[in-house]
């Protein structure tokens, strides 16, 4: 038995090649747990394992829960090696406290500045000239996903604008279809996402920034925003009884099965349609805007990875190797096709992407089309409070759009 | 013992209160902002709703647990056959964590999987029973589940109290021809004051820290209809707003502190009269 271990070690060393580096485990916390997300994250895991290091998967369902776990570990002095966040202010304290690995040398060596675009994707990671995280995808949130079969059941065509859809709602209900699919888990982030897209549709790209970035209270309390709140209230009244604590993926599966007609959700929902083997155009319709005939804007969010300092040169080397792999053009193509998102670089072969994604990438290329998600401007405490306001509006029959708008203005006033 | 008491409890509580006057984010900071966190707190609809909820939930939970628990205890006290088996059955739900309780009841009350679907499958297509899907009834559904979970303990404590009553008192009451219910209300219950107080304190503490059952059953929804102070505190700490979370935690602490003071006053008065409250 004693002689067995050196043999194994020799074989392992031989497999790694003649370099003297020792393979390291890299523990990654993320919240990619749905079918489509799993397909995407296995691209990272498999490609990384091929390099000789090992991806140790630590998937925690629901972003809010996963981020809380990451922070607890960081506070407790045992951070994971890599962790997922949404771009914006979710990790600002980690940078300030010096807990993160500085990726600047790697980024400069590989020239991330030259190929990662647009600026709005770069900005949350490159802060004061230093790279603190790796953007891995561009998610576009302002999509609606519609079931062709569900609309057909009610004798309708899939609508292309809000007015038609709002008029269709009672007919869909009469046909026994859930007219509007939405889920309220995690405090209501799905409803916030929906509300933000409705406000964007009302205000347009230039103006909408003023609310979350500049805290323009007059605009937030104005008639356009009220209209969005009213639409939200109407949509909520057409949701089903199972909605309150449902995840986005379970909600999407209702659209996939044709039980529900339409869901407003980011492009990660597309991964679910792919896993279910559905084709855009025939089985489901993707409506950018959402539901705008000539979409001009994309509301971008996405995912980034931060790497925690570990004081172990082997782990640090593996961490940098993972960071480099994540922006590799081939990995970007495979990952983003599975995830339903757009790559963070322009020189990626997206021939595998479907028509929906190609449409979005065209819009993304237009100057002035990109509207960053509110996460970029406001911190997570704000987001949590905002979720409560929007989900109260949708699920509480006694809350009026006017009252919810007043709460929203009050929240903005107190926001830091 | 003293070190633990002071180190863990007193310092912990002091920190909570001190941090509530700062604008701490992820890490504690001592950037004092006065009463600002409290001002924001009491103007936040979700917090106000949480406070309303806990009073409603607490009242329902305590009244039902005490009422049903006492009824069960009295029933058990009738020298029934198979008492051990019944006691185990009634106490068993308490062995389940609130998370499991919440999940089980959530499943039963779910309109697609639970009781509603079962009755509909029997042929009643219009039957509607989905308390958790409606903001006005969700809290009641939660009370039912939590009473199911907690009533056994109240029963066990009260039963122990009943057993502590001297048999001679019953005999005396019977000799005097006092009806059994009258004996319970006027003689037995006042005599088992200690057991009642213990059960009540445990229930109050349970209510104030209500958290896991909310997470398991409703996630605080629909909307904010079943949010509780504890979920508000945790959500704020988790979304890196520690100062604000601590302000909420301090507000949670206040009623408990008042209860402890009241209790202390009572005990002091009792000891002055030269006897102890058992």
Q: Which residue has the higher pLDDT, A50 or B6?
A: A50
Q: Which residue has the higher pLDDT, A374 or A235?
A: A235
Tell if the CB–CB gap between A75 and B27 is shorter than 8 Å. Answer: yes
Determine the average pLDDT of the residues in B81-104: 88
Determine the average pLDDT of the residues in A254-273: 93
Burial class (CB within 10 angstroms; exposed 0-12, middle 13-18, buried 19+) of B92 = exposed
Residue with token string 């902002």? B33
Is residue A2 predicted with pLDDT exceeding 60?
Answer: no
Please report which confidence band the pLDDT of residue B87 belongs to, taking 50, 70 and 90 as the band edges.
confident
Determine the average pLDDT of the residues in A398-412: 94
In this structure, are residues A144 and A289 in contact, taking their beta carbons and an 8 Å threshold? yes
CB contacts, 8 Å: B111 with chain A: 241-242
Tell if the CB–CB gap between A245 and B219 is shorter than 8 Å. Answer: yes
CB contacts, 8 Å: A97 with chain B: 26-27
Q: Which residue has the higher pLDDT, A368 or A21?
A: A368
Tell if the CB–CB gap between B218 and A244 is shorter than 8 Å. Answer: yes
Full-model pTM: 0.84
Tell if the CB–CB gap between B135 and A396 is shorter than 8 Å. Answer: yes
Determine the average pLDDT of the residues in B79-106: 88
Give dist(CA B111, CA B134) in Å, integer. 11
Q: What is the pLDDT of residue A357?
A: 84
Work out the end-to-end distance of chain B between its first and last CA atoms, rounded to an integer number of angstroms. 24
The chain-wide mean pLDDT, for chain A, equals: 90
CB contacts, 8 Å: A192 with chain B: none
Q: What is the pLDDT of residue A346?
A: 82
Q: What is the pLDDT of residue B63?
A: 96
Chain B nearest-CA residue for A189: B223
Tell if the CB–CB gap between A64 and B240 is shorter than 8 Å. Answer: no
| Interacting residues of B37 by C-beta distance below 8 A, sequence separation 6+ | B20, B21, B23, B243, B244, B246, B247
Per CATH, which fold does A143-299+370-414 belong to? D-Maltodextrin-Binding Protein; domain 2 (3.40.190)
Nearest by CB: A383 against B44, B222, B239: B239
CB contacts, 8 Å: A410 with chain B: 43
Phi/psi of residue A41, nearest 5 degrees = -70, -25
Q: To 10 degrees, what angle do helices A223-237 and A380-395 make? A: 60
The DSSP line for B74-139 is: HHHTTT-TTHHHHHHHHHHHHHS-HHHHHHHHHHHH-TTTSHHHHHHHTT-TT----GGGSTTTHH
| CA-derived radius of gyration, chain B | 23
Tell if the CB–CB gap between B240 and A380 is shorter than 8 Å. Answer: yes
Give dist(CA B241, CA B224) in Å, integer. 19
Please give the share of chain B, as a percent, with pLDDT higher than 90: 37
Q: What is the pLDDT of residue A219?
A: 94
Please report which confidence band the pLDDT of residue B205 belongs to, taking 50, 70 and 90 as the band edges.
confident
Tens digits of residue pLDDT in A191-213:
999 999 999 988 888 889 899 99
CB contacts, 8 Å: B235 with chain A: 64, 187, 384
Is residue B278 predicted with pLDDT exceeding 50?
Answer: no
Determine the average pLDDT of the residues in B253-269: 85
Tell if the CB–CB gap between B223 and A414 is shorter than 8 Å. Answer: no
Neighbours of A265 (CB within 10 A): 27
| Interacting residues of B81 by C-beta distance below 8 A, sequence separation 6+ | none
Q: What is the pLDDT of residue B154?
A: 94
Q: What is the pLDDT of residue A7?
A: 54
Is residue A246 predicted with pLDDT exceeding 70?
Answer: yes
Tell if the CB–CB gap between B223 and A383 is shorter than 8 Å. Answer: no
Give dist(CA B66, CA A298) in Å, integer. 57
> Tokens in use for A41?
């994250």
The four Cα atoms B105, B106, B111, B115 give a dihedral, to 10 degrees, of -10
> Tokens in use for B148?
């199911």
Least confident segment among A95-109, A396-410, B73-87: B73-87
Please report which confidence band the pLDDT of residue B275 belongs to, taking 50, 70 and 90 as the band edges.
low
Determine the average pLDDT of the residues in A279-290: 91
Nearest by CB: A71 against B23, B26, B111: B26
Q: What is the pLDDT of residue A20?
A: 56
Nearest to A373 by CA among A208, A225, A229, A231: A208
CATH of domain B45-272: 1.10.3720.10
CB contacts, 8 Å: B227 with chain A: 388
Tell if the CB–CB gap between A379 and B219 is shorter than 8 Å. Answer: no
| Interacting residues of A362 by C-beta distance below 8 A, sequence separation 6+ | none
Q: Which residue has the higher pLDDT, B94 or A319?
A: A319
Tell if the CB–CB gap between B240 and A379 is shorter than 8 Å. Answer: yes
Q: Which residue has the higher pLDDT, A33 or A347?
A: A33
Determine the average pLDDT of the residues in A280-293: 90
Q: What is the pLDDT of residue A8?
A: 53
Tell me the count of A-B CB pairs closer than 8 A.
110
Q: Is the ipTM of this complex over 0.85?
A: no
The DSSP line for A328-363 is: -HHHHHHHHHHHT-B-SBTT---TTS-HHHHHHHHH
Determine the average pLDDT of the residues in B171-187: 88
Q: What is the pLDDT of residue A252?
A: 96
Tens digits of residue pLDDT in B15-34:
899 999 998 888 888 889 99
Q: What is the pLDDT of residue B167?
A: 86
Could you tell me the residue ranges of all domains in chain A? Answer: 20-138+302-357, 143-299+370-414
Q: How far is residue B61 from each of residues A222, B71, B194, B200, B251, measured CA to CA in Å?
A: 43, 15, 20, 11, 21
Please give the share of chain A, as a percent, with pLDDT higher than 70: 95
Is residue A353 predicted with pLDDT exceeding 80?
Answer: no
Q: What is the pLDDT of residue A204?
A: 85
Tell if the CB–CB gap between A384 and B135 is shorter than 8 Å. Answer: no
Q: Which residue has the higher pLDDT, A28 or B1?
A: A28
Distance from CA of B42 to the nearest CA of A (A): 12
Give dist(CA B123, CA B30) in Å, integer. 64
DSSP summary character for residue A34: S
Three-state SS letters, B184-235: HHHHHHHHCHHHHHHHHHHHHHHHHCCCHHHHHHCCCCCCCCCCCHHHHHHH
The chain-wide mean pLDDT, for chain B, equals: 88
Q: What is the pLDDT of residue B277?
A: 47
CB contacts, 8 Å: B240 with chain A: 71, 93, 379-381
Work out the end-to-end distance of chain A between its first and last CA atoms, rounded to an integer number of angstroms. 63
Tell if the CB–CB gap between A93 and B23 is shorter than 8 Å. Answer: no
Nearest by CB: A381 against B49, B227, B244: B244
Q: To 10 degrees, what angle do helices A162-174 and A223-237 make? A: 20
Tell if the CB–CB gap between A381 and B111 is shorter than 8 Å. Answer: no
Q: What is the pLDDT of residue A11?
A: 52
Tell if the CB–CB gap between B223 and A397 is shorter than 8 Å. Answer: no
Q: What is the pLDDT of residue B226?
A: 92
CB contacts, 8 Å: A388 with chain B: 45-46, 223-224, 227
> Tokens in use for A10?
């020799």
Tell if the CB–CB gap between A384 and B236 is shorter than 8 Å. Answer: yes
CB contacts, 8 Å: A71 with chain B: 26, 238, 240
Is residue B276 predicted with pLDDT exceeding 60?
Answer: no
Q: Which residue has the higher pLDDT, B79 or B226?
A: B226
CB contacts, 8 Å: B225 with chain A: 392, 395-396
**Per DSSP, what are the bridge partners of residue A280?**
A284
Tens digits of residue pLDDT in A7-65:
555 555 445 544 556 889 999 999 999 988 999 999 999 999 999 999 999 999 988 89
CATH (one of 3.30.365.10, 3.40.190.10, 3.40.190.80, 3.20.20.140) for A20-138+302-357: 3.40.190.10
Please give the share of chain A, as a percent, with pLDDT higher than 90: 64
Determine the average pLDDT of the residues in B236-251: 92
Q: What is the pLDDT of residue A74?
A: 92
Nearest to A192 by CA among A382, A391, A405, A398: A391
Nearest by CB: A395 against B40, B223, B241: B223
Tens digits of residue pLDDT in A157-179:
999 999 999 999 999 999 999 99
Neighbours of A58 (CB within 10 A): 17
Residue with token string 């939405």? A182
């Amino acid at each position: 038995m004693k002689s067995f271990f050196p043999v194994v070690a020799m074989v392992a060393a031989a497999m790694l090649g003649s370099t003297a580096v020792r393979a390291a485990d890299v523990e990654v916390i993320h919240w990619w747990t749905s079918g489509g997300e799993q397909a995407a994250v296995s691209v990272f895991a498999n490609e990384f394992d091929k390099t000789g290091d090992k991806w140790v998967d630590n998937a925690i369902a629901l972003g809010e829960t996963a981020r809380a776990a990451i922070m607890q570990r960081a506070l407790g002095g045992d951070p994971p090696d890599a962790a997922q966040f949404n771009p914006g202010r979710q990790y600002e304290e980690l940078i300030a406290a010096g807990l993160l690995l500085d990726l600047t040398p790697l980024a400069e060596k590989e020239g991330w500045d030259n190929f990662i675009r647009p600026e709005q994707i770069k900005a949350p990671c490159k802060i004061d000239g230093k790279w603190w995280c790796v953007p891995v995808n561009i998610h576009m949130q302002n999509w609606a996903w519609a079931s062709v079969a569900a609309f057909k059941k009610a004798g309708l065509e899939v609508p292309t604008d809000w007015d038609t859809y709002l008029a269709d709602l009672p007919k869909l209900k009469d046909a026994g279809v859930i007219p509007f699919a939405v889920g309220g888990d995690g405090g209501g982030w799905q409803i916030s996402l929906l509300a933000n897209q409705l406000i964007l549709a009302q205000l347009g790209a230039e103006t909408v920034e003023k609310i979350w970035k500049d805290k323009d209270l007059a605009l937030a309390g104005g008639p356009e925003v009220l209209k969005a709140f009213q639409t939200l209230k109407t949509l909520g009244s057409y949701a089903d009884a199972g909605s309150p604590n449902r995840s986005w993926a379970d909600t999407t599966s209702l659209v996939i099965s044709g039980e529900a007609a339409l869901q407003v959700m980011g492009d990660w929902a597309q991964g679910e349609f792919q896993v279910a083997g559905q084709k855009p155009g025939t089985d489901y319709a993707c409506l950018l805007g959402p539901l705008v005939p000539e979409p001009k804007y994309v509301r971008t969010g996405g995912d980034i990875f931060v790497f925690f300092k570990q004081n172990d040169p082997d782990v640090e080397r593996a961490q940098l190797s993972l960071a480099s792999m994540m922006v590799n053009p081939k990995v970007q193509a495979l990952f983003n096709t599975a995830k339903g998102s757009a790559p963070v670089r322009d020189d990626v072969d997206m021939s595998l992407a479907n028509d929906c994604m190609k449409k979005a990438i065209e819009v993304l290329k237009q100057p002035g089309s990109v509207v960053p998600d509110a996460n970029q401007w406001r911190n997570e405490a704000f987001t949590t409070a905002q979720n409560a306001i929007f989900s109260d509006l949708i699920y509480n029959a006694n809350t009026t759009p006017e009252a919810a708008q007043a709460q929203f203005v009050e929240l903005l006033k107190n926001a830091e | 013992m003293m070190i633990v008491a002071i180190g863990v409890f007193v310092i912990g509580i002091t920190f909570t209160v001190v941090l509530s006057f700062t604008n701490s984010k992820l890490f504690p900071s001592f950037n004092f902002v006065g009463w600002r966190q409290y001002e924001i707190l009491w103007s936040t609809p979700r917090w106000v709703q949480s406070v309303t909820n806990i009073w409603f939930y607490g009242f329902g939970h305590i009244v039902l647990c005490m009422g049903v628990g006492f009824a069960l205890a009295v029933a058990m006290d009738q020298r029934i056959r198979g008492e051990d088996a019944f006691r185990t059955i009634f106490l068993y739900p308490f062995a389940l964590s609130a998370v499991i309780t919440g999940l089980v009841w959530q499943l039963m009350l779910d309109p697609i999987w639970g009781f509603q679907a079962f009755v509909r499958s029997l042929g009643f297509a219009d039957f509607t029973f989905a308390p958790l899907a409606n903001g006005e009834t969700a809290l009641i559904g939660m009370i039912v589940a939590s009473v199911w979970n907690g009533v056994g303990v109240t029963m066990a404590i009260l039963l122990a109290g009943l057993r502590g009553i001297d048999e001679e008192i019953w005999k005396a009451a019977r000799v005097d021809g006092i009806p059994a219910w009258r004996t319970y209300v006027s003689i037995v219950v006042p005599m088992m004051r200690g057991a009642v107080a213990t059960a009540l304190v445990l229930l109050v503490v349970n209510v104030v820290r209500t958290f896991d059952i909310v997470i398991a059953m409703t996630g605080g929804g629909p909307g904010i209809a079943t949010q509780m102070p504890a979920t508000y505190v945790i959500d704020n700490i988790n979304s890196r707003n520690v100062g604000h979370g601590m302000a909420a935690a301090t507000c949670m602490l206040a009623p408990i502190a008042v209860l402890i003071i009241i209790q202390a006053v009572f005990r002091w008065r009792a000891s002055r009269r030269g006897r102890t409250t058992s």
